[in-house]
Structure 1
Amino acid sequence: MMMAAVRKSTNWFAIGVTAAAVVVVLIVGGVVWFANSQVGSPGTLPQSSAVNTETGAIAVGTGPKTVDTYIDFMCPICNQFEQSYGPTLDQLVADDQITLNIHPISILDRASQGTQYSTRAASAAYCVAVDDPANVPAFVKALYAQQPSENTAGLDDATLASIATSAGASDAVTSCITDGTYEKFVTAMTQKTPVQPGQSGIATPTIAVDGTVLSNQNDLTGDPQKDIVARLNG
């Protein structure tokens, strides 16, 4: 007796469903990867001889020693630091003793009624640096002179652009500022701010003298000769 041959049929429907599921997984995975990469992406880099695109520092001066300042333009204590320490830092730069590395960061967006003033102002500082870094110190001082109070909307983009041009920047900064060109860069660089000794998170102002991060509570007494100059000479 001859045995009938058993014919196996291919379940194309099951194969199709499986293949479709694999494609969906790959697509979802790609979307998640892209979203994650965008969150950490620095976006457009500020191309300027004065800007370190790895650290976000805007260099003022060319002295052999360094002072790094991490500042939020809505931070009132940053303004107090500028008033107390700024003249000494300016003199150290003028005397070619230090390179002052200004890091515009953003931790107080929550205090500007949803306008993200800290991020916008920091982005504007990079716009000025790309246009002509020589105007950055004047722009920083002008921003502090017109510093908005916390929990207000802050200055609008048109005002930031006006301050920039008054500080010497060209009209080209206007579109850079209104477009928020370096806002993603600000966000990425903020995450690189060093944590002060004894603190659990970043704060402003954060100051580093020749690479040593100071404590606002213990190392900044309001005496720039003691707090900055002595450490540079020590």
Structure 2
Amino acid sequence: MSKAGKDRNRARQIVEQQKARERRRKVTLWTSIGVVFLLIAAGLVGYAMSSSQQNADAGKLVVPAAAVDGGTAFAVGSGPVAVDLYEDFMCPVCRVFEAQSSATLRGLAAKNEITLRYHPVAILDHASEGTQYSSRAAGASAAAAQGGKFVEYHDVLYANQPQENTPGLTDDKLIELGRTVGLTDPTFADAVKNKTYVPWATKNTETFSARGYTGTPTIVVAGKQVTGANNSLPTTADITKAIDAAKG
């Protein structure tokens, strides 16, 4: 074979080798891309599963162990007459009621003449510009009850009650108020941040409605709703009269 022929053969071999290398490079490239896509897909599936689990956990009903009356209320005292108060922490009339009648009812509970049962409900979520303040506050009060500070936290929430049609207090503020009444355990802050008891607040509100009640505050003595004249807010005298009647 002539030198020219040998050179042509050598050139063809080089070209074939280059083509072969290019084919291997493409196979390697697409294999790598495929692996990357598989990893991404696996990651997305994992993320989706994790997110679904987190969403499921966030919506899980957790009933506070401290709750009574079928897990709907927090009790003060252990007297023979049950006095049930259904309240929304954004309800201005509830705050008026507390200022008017709380001292008397707490006094009766302290003497074990009544069992005072607080039912936090959330009927005014629509009045907090989308922040669900009523539900968040009710849930925070449940976390406070778990920490043994329901009454103290209940009172500090009313002392710092936001106006209707405002965003209400932030979660950070709810946690800060908890610290002022001794709720310094991280468990309380975690429950507020994670909205652990918000589904419970929702369930409580559904129970409130199922029991036939429509507004807050609703005051029930020995199973009978107490109202003032023309279905107005009952006075302290109205409530104590109903309590006396229930004693027999």
Q: What is the distance in 2 between the residues matched to 1:221 and 1:118?
A: 21
Change (3 A) 1:69 1:157: same
Is residue 154 of structure 2 the alignment partner of residue 140 of structure 1? Answer: yes
For 1:15, the equivalent position in structure 2 comes to none
> Share of identical aligned residues, percent?
37
- Find the partner of 1:118 among 112, 122, 134: 134
For 2:23, the equivalent position in structure 1 comes to none
Write out aligned runs for 1:67-146 (5 A): 67-132=83-148, 135-146=149-160
Q: Deviations along 1:156-205, whole A, 9 cap, x unmatched?
A: 01111111221222322011111100111111111111335xxxxx1111
Structure 1 portions without partners, runs of 5+: 1-37, 197-201
For 1:44, the equivalent position in structure 2 comes to 62
Change (3 A) 1:230 1:95: same
Write out aligned runs for 1:14-29 (5 A): none
Q: CA RMSD in A?
A: 1.9
Q: Is the 8 A contact 2:228 2:238 kept in 1?
A: no
Question: Structure 1 counterpart of 2:212, which letter?
Answer: V
Q: Is the 8 A contact 2:226 2:242 kept in 1?
A: no
Aligned residues between the structures: 185
For 2:170, the equivalent position in structure 1 comes to 156
Deviation at 1:221, TM superposition (A): 5.5
Q: Is the 8 A contact 1:70 1:204 kept in 2?
A: yes
Structure 2 portions without partners, runs of 5+: 1-55
Q: Is the 8 A contact 1:42 1:184 kept in 2?
A: yes
Q: Look up the SS of the partner of 2:165 in the other structure.
A: coil
Q: What is the distance in 2 between the residues matched to 1:221 and 1:108?
A: 18
Question: What TM-score results when the alignment is normalised by the length of structure 2?
Answer: 0.70
Question: Structure 1 counterpart of 2:242, which letter?
Answer: R
For 1:214, the equivalent position in structure 2 comes to 226
Q: Deviations along 1:48-80, whole A, 9 cap, x unmatched?
A: 2xx127251111111111110000000000000
Larger Rg: 2
Q: Is the 8 A contact 2:228 2:235 kept in 1?
A: no
